Amino acid sequence: MFIKKKLLKNGFITRNLILLNKGKEKCKIQIYECKHCGKTFNTDLTGFIDENKNITKLLLEKILKLFVIYGSSIYKIHYYLKQEYNIEIPHQSIENTHNKL
């Protein structure tokens, strides 16, 4: 049985994501279009990153672990991530993560 593709690749969008081992990276996200209805959507990244966030789930877990287990301050976490992983995350982003606890 032959099944036709119902989706067309329809370009890319670029997102600046902050990855644990690479720091800030520009990532291309594939856009698809439905042949039937014309609706467009992006590649699903929900297993990797929360919607409307730039920090990956793995990095968020690391930040939360530093808060909970070590009781680190925002500035100590910022310094640790810079020294250990060469990642520059704004203090406000770290504080926003802390406020969600």
Summarised one tens digit per residue, pLDDT across range 23-75 is 889 999 999 998 888 888 888 888 888 888 888 999 999 998 988 887 888 88
pLDDT score for 2? 43
The one-letter amino acid at 10: N
Lowest mean pLDDT among 12-16, 57-61, 90-94, 95-99: 95-99
pLDDT score for 58? 92
| Half-sphere exposure (Cβ direction) of 76: Cα atoms closer than 13 Å | 8
Q: What residues form DSSP beta bridges with 64?
A: none
Domain coordinates in residue numbering, the chain: 7-99
* Predicted TM-score (pTM) of this structure: 0.75
pLDDT score for 101? 61
d(CA 79, CA 93) in angstroms, rounded, equals 14
pLDDT score for 12? 92
pLDDT score for 4? 56
Nearest to 50 by CA among 64, 40, 67: 64
79 Cβ partners below 8 Å, 6+ apart?
Answer: none
d(CA 15, CA 18) in angstroms, rounded, equals 10
Q: Is residue 24 within 8 Å of 16, Cβ to Cβ?
A: yes
